[in-house]
Amino acid sequence: MEPFDDALEKSAISEIDAALKRLNKGWAIAKRSLKEWDFKTSAQSLEGLADELDTLGDRWQEQETILRDAIEVDQKFIQSDDYAAAIEEVLKTSGIPVRGEFPNYEFPPFKLTFNREQGNVRLSVGRRSQQTKAFAPEQLGTWVAGQYRKVIESKFDATRFCKEILSAYELLNTLTLKQDSVAWGHSIPLKEIYRLLTLKQAAKQDYPEALFVFDLARLKEQPQIQYDQYQFDLEPSRNPASSFLLVNSQGQESRVSTLAVHLMD
């Protein structure tokens, strides 16, 4: 199923645009002449406006029918499998490693959800989300790609991130083992590290789990994960319940569940 004839819709819009432009120009002249008590111009401009309104009224029903037909056809297209294929093609062409199927897609750290009943499309990272009412594939693809690139092209401060998770690791390490000094090399669940980093509700809102996982994926892509005198090991797991699913820049997946930090010589 194809969307409405674009040329026919554009022609109707252009005709209405031209009529409104003439009306706007005529009304500007009428207002100015009325203010200046230019009676001759006032009379002529009002007569011209009346003629334009009559012409627009005669043509409006035909143009309105075309536009309503366009809306109906496009709405039916959105309900079809062809729409899902068009959306996926636009996203992939934009370089977005989209996964899932309509109406729910994922491309870390984002989730893209279509709600045809409510008439909106939601782009979310954790609990933070924004939405649009625009369903047109090209316009929607441009919007999504813009938001996606803001995140993936942002500079990743590996040093700052390592420093933060090291601090959480040290605290959890000593608490778990109930000792005063850190047992380097001991594995600590990454989910516990995230909970500690976001104890305050505001912190969790500013740094949702999806972004933490995204940062882990960027960290894991480095040849060696080191900070100061410490070596970081993101340890794998096959258990979905206790692990995070990381997706790297090439779309490759891996699961990690624990972090072990080693003190280098």
Assess contact for 189 and 216: CB atoms under 8 A: no
| pLDDT recorded at residue 248 | 84
| pLDDT recorded at residue 258 | 96
Determine the average pLDDT of the residues in 105-127. Answer: 93
Please, which residues bridge with residue 69 across strands? none
pLDDT tens digits, 66-88? 999 999 999 999 999 999 999 99
Q: What is the pTM of this model?
A: 0.75
By the 10 Å C-beta count (0-12 exposed, 13-18 middle, 19+ buried), 96 is classed as buried
Share of the chain above pLDDT 90, in %: 68
| Element (DSSP H or E) covering residue 259 | strand 253-263
Q: How confident is the model at residue 1 (pLDDT cuts 50, 70, 90)?
A: low
Is pLDDT of 163 > 90?
yes
Is pLDDT of 179 > 70?
yes
Q: What span, in angstroms and rounded, lies between the C-alpha atoms of 122 and 56?
A: 38
pLDDT tens digits, 91-114? 999 989 899 999 999 999 999 999
Considering only 2-6, 176-180, 236-240, which range has the smallest mean pLDDT?
2-6
Name the percent of the chain in helix, strand, coil, to the closest 5: 55, 20, 25
